[in-house]
Amino acid sequence: VNIARALILRPKLIVADEPVSMLDVSIRAEILQLMLDLKESRGLTYIFITHDLAVASYICDKIAVMYLGKIVELGETRRVIDNPYHPYTKALIAAVPEPDPSNRFRIREVPIIGEVPSAVAVPPGCRFHTRCLYAMDICKKMEPPFIEVEPGHYVACWLHVKK
């Protein structure tokens, strides 16, 4: 119903905030396929907001990973998923359930510690430093620049800034 409402005005851009998160898995696949078909047939662009990287990798051409309101990694979806640079992106990918039964019980290390800081009192420096296993002194003091690590693939992380 919400998709039909959004299409009445023939938009070029649709902002979809967790559009399939509350749906059953069988319905979810159908809705995602419908959204892809509409994207192609109507020339739509989606800003697709989700916590589910599996869903994002299915529907998105490009992906921006955010932490506490700041983009920490940006690029073509396949590049970001296959070769993540930011520790938070790596943690999100490690947390995705493994569909292959032979790997299902393999313990995967999720490279993240602690609790999410308050969005009202964002920590100084890199917003992720309080949860990062690789945090350095500079991470606690200065926000990292957004740099291109591969053509079209950007990250905000001191681990990848050439000194």
Return the pLDDT at 69. 92
Q: Which fold has domain 1-60?
A: Rossmann fold (3.40.50)
- What's the predicted TM-score (pTM) here? 0.84
Domain extents for the chain?
A: 1-60, 82-163
In tens, the pLDDT along 96-126 reads 776 666 665 555 666 788 888 888 889 899 9
pLDDT of residue 108: 62
pLDDT under 50: residue ranges of the chain: none
pLDDT at 103: 60
Q: DSSP state, 158?
A: G
pLDDT at position 144, please?
A: 97
The pLDDT value given to residue 5: 87
Question: DSSP of 11-70, one letter per residue?
Answer: -SEEEEESTTTTS-HHHHHHHHHHHHHHHHHHT-EEEEE-S-HHHHHHH-SEEEEEETTE
